[in-house]
Amino acid sequence: MRIKIDGLDVNYTASGPENGKAGQTVLLLHGWGVDSSTLEPLRLQLAERCYAVSLDLPGFGGTAAPPAAWSVFEYADFVERFIQKLKLENVILLGHSFGGRLSIILGSRGIGKKIILTDAAGILPKRSWKYYLRVYSYKAAKKLFSIKPLLPYKERALKRWISSNPSSDYAQAQGVMRQIFVKVVNQDLQPLLNKIKASTLLIWGEKDTATPLSDGQLMEKLIPDAGLVVFEEAGHYPFLEQPGRFYSVVDYFITH
């Protein structure tokens, strides 16, 4: 399905009993570097019980990139307008990783009857000296190759630097999405967690290295009405690694 939101042609999928029949909608928000297809098996299961909607966020899947370097808050604004445009009611937010960031922001605004965060990003990690060395060496290289005699070699030199100092998400991002990625990963959403008043379910893979379990444990402490379920032997995608158990936990949460 397609819909226009602020001039962007948005790809989304929706099925299941409509709002009036089921009484609630689950809106699934995917992570960075993927699209709504990663959550499609879960969405189809949820659609047996309620109206289940997922969308490709701007810059991913079938939705065009934003016209400018959006912050995570502008992405949240976009999702809020999507909810309004589709006239979704009694919305339960289910956010994975980057989608979890958006769910945290929306939840802090009072949006979401309930919230499900699975391996959500949003806690600013403690960076090692190696991280800062990479950041400042990149900035130095960028400045150096902006000198007129070296300008013709700038693009090739920076590509070589990126390939030798890999951050997979950054390296794979192109154009404006690379600028957005830098903004997103440097935004700490921890101050918003205690503003979430909706009942919140946290589902985490015990072996997640992208957003470690300690993030989920901290979120459980800071969100007033939160509970954490840990999936042993699972990583960053517990809904793909242990789909049966994941659905059972989510189904119980949304029906009680």
DSSP string, 34-46: S-GGGGHHHHHHH
Give the per-residue pLDDT at 22.
53
Mean pLDDT of the region 115-122: 98
CATH 3.30.70.100 fits 2-124+187-255, yes or no: no
**Burial class of residue 256 (count of CB atoms within 10 Å of its CB; 0-12, 13-18, 19+):** exposed
Q: Report the pLDDT value the prediction gives residue 21, as an integer from 0 to 100.
A: 45
Give the model's confidence band at 144: pLDDT under 50 very low, under 70 low, under 90 confident, else very high. Answer: low
User: How confident is the model at residue 156, as a pLDDT?
Assistant: 67
Q: What is the pLDDT of residues 212-239, one digit of tens each?
A: 999 999 999 999 999 999 999 999 999 9
Across 5-19, 110-124, 153-167, 170-184, least confident range: 153-167
Q: What CA–CA distance (Å, rounded) separates 114 from 197?
A: 9
Cα 102–108–112 angle (5° rounding)? Answer: 75
Q: pLDDT confidence of 151, banded at 50, 70, 90?
A: confident
| Residue from 97, 100, 61 nearest 79 by CA | 100
Mean pLDDT of the chain: 88
Instruction: Name the E strands within the chain.
Output: 2-5, 8-15, 25-29, 51-55, 91-96, 114-118, 199-205, 226-231
Q: Which residues, in sequence order, are bridge partners of residue 53?
A: 14, 27
Phi-psi region of 236 (alpha: psi -120 to 50; beta: other; left: phi over 0): alpha
Find the range with the poorest average confidence among 98-102, 152-156, 177-181, 233-237: 152-156
